[in-house]
Amino acid sequence: MKKRTLLLLGIFCGSIGFSQTLTPEVIATAGDYFTSTNNNLSWTLGESVIETYSSTNNILTQGFQQSSYTITSVGENMNSVSSVFVYPNPASNFINICTESTEMKIMKVDLLTIAGKSVHSETFQNKLQLDLSGYSNGLYFIRVFDDNNNSVKTFKLLKTN
């Protein structure tokens, strides 16, 4: 019975050791690779630094490098409206939201906090002036929707004094 328990414990411990990958990878917001005749440079923003070597002419900082790049983005539906503008940004008292649409379509705008909570929602046709005087300073998101409630564009807005 003891041998069987030790054998099962050994198999279990051995399988745990092989259950994770050991390849170091970084999920970063930016990076690039440059080549010249004598040198190569690869960088990743947000890379964890492990060691730095320096000499009179060169500095080498080693860290993890991304093995493959996958670029992701959020698509915006621009079929219904040619352009949407939000100005001024940063703003203190008000913002203007304008569309360059040839048709007078009813659109919707949502003002969201950085946490994603909707603090204001309103419909408009081609132009809207939104009063910001009742809101505290900080970063907000403005989402504009078309007449079919499809998201057209999202803006970051900085509310200041």
> Is residue 121 within 8 Å of residue 143, measured between CB atoms?
no
64 vs 54: CA distance, rounded Å? 18
pLDDT in tens, 28-64: 667 777 788 877 777 766 656 567 777 887 777 666 5
Q: Which amino acid is at 14?
A: G
Which pLDDT band, with edges at 50, 70 and 90, does 153 fall under?
confident
In the chain, where are the structural domains located? 25-70, 84-159
At the top level of CATH, the class of 84-159 is mainly beta
Pairing assessment for the beta strands 151-159 and 118-125 based on DSSP bridges:
unpaired
Higher pLDDT, 138 or 48: 138
